[in-house]
Amino acid sequence: MNSRITDRIATGIFYTIAAIMVALLLYLFYFILSNGVPQISWDFLTSPSSAYQAGGGIRDQLFNSFYILFITMIITVPLGVCGGVYMAEYAKPGKITNFIRTCIEMLASLPSIVVGLFGLLIFVNITGWGYTIIGGALALTIFNIPVMVRVTEDAINSVPKELKEASLALGITRWHTIKTVLLPYAFPGILTGAILASGRVFGEAAALLYTAGLSTPTLDYGNWNPLAENSPLNIFRPAETLAVHIWAVNTQGLIPDIREVANGAAAVLVIAVLVFNILARWLGSVIHKKLTASK
């Protein structure tokens, strides 16, 4: 009898914990969206931010966030996928593989501020570039590579063994098997992982504060020459991203409408992350259905 009552109580506690977590998420989303969405307007999204007056927007920050994300993924995805292929297919069990695995774990566990410090040291001071988009993207690459490697390795390991063995039994080389059998099968998994990683990169701020900087030069969106000073495409210009902007206006902002701008920016950021999440799930399942012809 006694143990049955304790069992009931324990079950109740577990239900409470689960309810707390759901309530927490609901509250956070409710707070961000109910405060932020009213701030979002076409004007807010398309006007530049102001340093002193009210009414600034987030145009440049939004562009910078996507641009840095794009450059980061261009560097990270090939590196991470190749690294993952190496770990899944070529790495032989032994000291070297163990060492590489430790390296990946270490990179994955680096606090993002430490990645930012490394970026500040190498890509800002030693190279003499100053705060640049490419510096920020390279710092984010360090932060993102372990994720891509793990995602790729898991996706490749989840390919049925028969497929790989059949391919090898036909006399096809290992690399050709990887290219034509393993990678296509693992593609949905890798894509899902890459999009989820994008969400993480999109919201990252600590690694960018001192690599991509806290300011954006005046940009001319008509100027598409990537070498021009005022071109948005120039990768050697400083760029404040959306996440960094939220931090900056809250801790050192001088504008009178800090709350409004931060609310709006936070909502845009969270919606973007949400879209990345949903997109990842949806694309993953669609492609999986297409490739495997299952329903």
Span 72-101, contacts to other proteins by CB under 8 A: 78-79, 82-83, 85-87, 89-91, 99-100
User: Sign of torsion, CA 143 148 149 154?
Assistant: positive
The 209-238 site mask, x for binding other proteins (CB under 8 A), equals xx---x------------------------
5-64 binders of other proteins (CB under 8 A): 6-7, 10-11, 13-15, 17-18, 20-22, 24-25, 28-29, 31-32
DSSP structure class, residue 170: T
Nearer to other proteins, 56 or 83 (CB): 83
Q: How far is 18 from 21, CA to CA, in rounded Å?
A: 5
Closest distance between other proteins and the C-beta of residue 199, in Å?
A: 5
Nearer to other proteins, 86 or 236 (CB): 86
Q: Is 189 in the site for other proteins (CB under 8 A)?
A: no
Q: Which of 33, 37, 181, 270 binds other proteins (CB under 8 A)?
A: 270
Closest distance between other proteins and the C-beta of residue 220, in Å?
A: 27
CA end-to-end span of the chain, whole Å?
49
CB 64 within 8 A of CB 248: no
Alpha helices in 170-257, H assignment, sequence order: 174-177, 183-203, 242-252
Closest distance between other proteins and the C-beta of residue 173, in Å?
A: 4
- Ramachandran quadrant class, 253 (left: phi over 0; alpha: psi -120 to 50; beta: rest): beta
Q: Is 283 in the site for other proteins (CB under 8 A)?
A: no
* Closest residue by Cα to residue 41 from 279, 274, 272, 261: 261
Q: How far is 60 from 45, CA to CA, in rounded Å?
A: 9
Q: Is 113 in the site for other proteins (CB under 8 A)?
A: yes
Q: Is 149 in the site for other proteins (CB under 8 A)?
A: yes
